[in-house]
Amino acid sequence: MISIRIKRCFFSIVLICAIVISLVNKSHKGFQISTAIICAPLFLLFLLRLILPEIKIFDDISKEYSLLSPIEKVGSLVNLILIGIWAIAQIYCLM
């Protein structure tokens, strides 16, 4: 089982890659590639849960923000900021 910190770090790296792709391409192609970078891992995890429900990937995630450790809270905040930057980069690509 992968720890939540590693999962958050991986998601942050994926977000950073998507942001860079969006800002470098500045076109509809950059928008599409960036969206694919974000959606592909989430889609694969969804398929994995459908095909192999006995594999529990997200069992150790706290459901409430108040139950998260301080490091998990920082990781959540960083990911939230990165998601905001990614959304702005996507809008920039479409202009």
* Domain ranges across the chain: 27-51+89-95
Q: What angle do CA 25, 87, 69 make, to 5 degrees?
A: 125
pTM for this one? 0.75
Distance CA 93, CA 70 (A): 35
More confident residue, 4 or 40: 40
Q: How do residues 5-64 score in pLDDT, each as one tens digit?
A: 788 888 899 999 999 998 898 888 888 999 999 999 889 888 888 888 777 666 555 566
Predicted confidence at residue 83, as pLDDT, reads 93
Token match 């990911």: residue? 79
pLDDT at residue 81 above 90? Answer: yes
